[in-house]
Amino acid sequence: MPHDPPVGPAKVWLVGAGPGPADLLTLRAARLIGQAQALLYDALVDDAVVALAPPGCFRLRTGKRSGKTSMTQAVINGLMLKLARRGLSVVRLKGGDPSIFGRVGEEAAFLSGHGIAVEVVPGVTAASAAAAQFGFPLTHRGQARRLLFATARIENGALETEGWDGGADPKTTLALYMAREAAGAVADRLIALGRAPATPAIAVENAGRADARAIRCDLASLGPAIAAAGLGGPVVVVIGEAVRAAAAAGLCAPRSAAG
Mark whether 132 and 91 lie in a shared domain: no
178 assigned to active site: yes
- Catalytic residue selected from 42, 46, 97, 169: 42
- Catalytic residue selected from 46, 80, 97, 178: 178
pLDDT tens-digit series, residues 53-106 = 999 999 999 975 555 557 899 999 999 999 999 999 999 999 999 999 989 999
Residue at a domain's end among 121, 139, 165: 121
4 assigned to active site: no
Name the 3-class secondary structure at 202: strand
Q: What letter would DSSP give residue 257?
A: P
Residues 6+ apart with CB under 8 A from 7: none
Instruction: State which amino acid sits at residue 13.
Output: W
Instruction: For residue 170, give the CATH number of its domain.
Output: 3.30.950.10
Give the mean model confidence (pLDDT) for residues 190-209.
95
Confidence (pLDDT) at 68: 55
C-alpha–C-alpha distance, residues 134 and 250, integer Å:
10
Confidence (pLDDT) at 142: 86
Structural domain boundaries enclosing 105: 11-121
Give the mean model confidence (pLDDT) for residues 168-175.
94
Mark whether 80 and 188 lie in a shared domain: no
Mark whether 37 and 141 lie in a shared domain: no
Q: Interhelix angle for 73-85 vs 104-113, to 10°? A: 40
Asked, for residue 100, whether it belongs to a domain, the answer is yes
Give the mean model confidence (pLDDT) for residues 113-127.
96
- Cβ atoms within 10 Å of 148's Cβ, excluding its own: 16
Give the mean model confidence (pLDDT) for residues 107-131.
96
Mark whether 109 and 142 lie in a shared domain: no
- Catalytic residue selected from 64, 80, 97, 169: 64
Asked, for residue 215, whether it belongs to a domain, the answer is yes
**Domain total of the chain:** 2
Give the mean model confidence (pLDDT) for residues 211-225.
94
Mark whether 165 and 226 lie in a shared domain: yes
Instruction: For residue 27, give the CATH number of its domain.
Output: 3.40.1010.10
Distance of CA 203 to the CA centre of its chain: 14
Please report, for residues 48, 112, 174, 227, the alpha-carbon distance to residue 179 in angstroms, rounded to integers and kept in the order given.
26, 32, 12, 11
Mark whether 29 and 116 lie in a shared domain: yes
pLDDT at 128 over 70: yes
Asked, for residue 154, whether it belongs to a domain, the answer is yes
pLDDT at 200 over 60: yes
Asked, for residue 5, whether it belongs to a domain, the answer is no
Q: With beta carbons less than 8 A apart as the criterion, state whether 79 and 58 touch.
A: no
47 assigned to active site: no
Least confident of 7-16, 40-49, 209-218, 233-242: 7-16
Q: With beta carbons less than 8 A apart as the criterion, state whether 139 and 147 touch.
A: yes
pLDDT at 256 over 70: no
Asked, for residue 2, whether it belongs to a domain, the answer is no
Q: For residue 125, give the nearest of 93, 107, 151, 100 by alpha carbon.
A: 100
